[in-house]
Amino acid sequence: MSERSVPPDSSSNRPGSSGPAASRRPGSPGGGRAGARPGKWRRGWLVALLAVLVSLPLLLHRQIPNTFGNLGSLIDTFLPWAGVAIPVLAVMALIRRSATAGIAVALVLLLWLGMFGNAFLPGKGGGNYNVAVLTHNVDAANPDPAGTARAIIAAGADIVALEEITPKDLPIYKRELGGTYKHLAQRDTVALWSRYPIAETGSVDIGFAWTRALRAKVATPEGDIAVYVAHLASVRVGTSGFTSNQRNDTIRQLGQAIAKEELAGVVVMGDFNGTVGDRSLAPITAGLRSAQGAAGFGFGFTWPAEFPMARIDHILVRGVVPTKAWVLPATGSDHRPIMAQLRI
């Protein structure tokens, strides 16, 4: 009788078998599952990289030179807007369910809050005030100067600084404001209206053929203060970069005048065409406090009026205490007015 051939045992290839093929089954230990997602620490590296890129201007903006197109000042001016990227990156990190991306975004958020979070802290300023001041670039192309003047009166300030007043509009502002503010100091395109007597007035030379800055000594019931009104040179952002050399010259000259001021109480108001974070503004901001920074809430952006992106209009003080500061609604100007309450 011939021996029957026995077929090879195929049990190792049957479903449920424990043979070698089972160890290669998708989903089994040691087996590579097709389409498996990497772990939460291995995902989201692109989001983490984007977070690092956002952090670089926050960390290194002071090291960016102004030698090419005043790039450093341009970044200084709009640096707070880096925060817009943070919630976008946070959503991306959540979608990816990535711990790596989440930590990177959290670190950028902490960095941004360390630089700008003070603007949103409650309880700044406060206390009694005795003088309210307002400044507004009224815009040479303002279609409704009379309406702008009425909005200024409604704000209830004691001292009002206006910039960019044209010869055509000056009589309108005099007529509208004169009934509330009996005292006026005016030089070309800048002017100061006050409820209190103005004891001295004088032009401040900041390098223009016409006057764009003045100084006045205002006799408030609490004592004399020096009030400066200034409209610094404009800046342009174009193919050549952030063109601000003329503005920087006006900053230096105004800063020198303020540094020589002998009165203890000083209020500097106007359109500086730059933010307090712009390093080029240091000759003015040195030794002065921003009323918005000391007693305001938020960034206090003032320009452009339709969708403000930067605070280039300022109330800076020395020897007086800001108790509150805020931005007023838009008028017919391309800037928004700002106001502060001060304790002298």
Alpha carbon distance 57, 38 (integer Å): 31
- What would the pLDDT profile of 200-210 be if each residue is shown by its tens digit? 999 999 988 88
304 cis-preceded (ω within 30 degrees of 0): yes
Provide the mean pLDDT of the chain.
88
Binning pLDDT at 50, 70 and 90, where does residue 27 land?
very low
> What number does CATH give the domain 131-343?
3.60.10.10
241 has a pLDDT exceeding 70:
no
103 sits in which H/E element: helix 99-116
Query: What per-residue confidence (pLDDT) applies to 242?
Result: 55
Binning pLDDT at 50, 70 and 90, where does residue 248 land?
confident
What are the angstrom distances between the C-alpha of 274 and each of 60, 206, 344? 20, 16, 27
SS3 content of the chain, % helix, strand, coil (to 5): 35, 25, 40
Strand order in the sheet with 223-231: 198-203, 213-220, 223-231, 266-271, 313-318, 289-290
| Domain-wise residue ranges, the chain | 45-120, 131-343
Structure tokens at 158: 């004691």
What are the angstrom distances between the C-alpha of 223 and each of 75, 158, 265? 40, 14, 9
Lowest mean pLDDT among 126-140, 157-171, 186-200, 225-239: 225-239
1 CB neighbour count, 10 Å cutoff: 3
Q: Taking residues 164-192, report their average pLDDT.
A: 98
Query: What stretches of the chain adopt beta strand conformation (E)?
Result: 131-137, 159-163, 183-187, 190-194, 198-203, 213-220, 223-231, 236-238, 241-243, 266-271, 289-290, 313-318, 321-327, 338-343
Closest CA to 225 of 340, 138, 313: 340
Query: What per-residue confidence (pLDDT) applies to 243?
Result: 57
3 has a pLDDT exceeding 80:
no
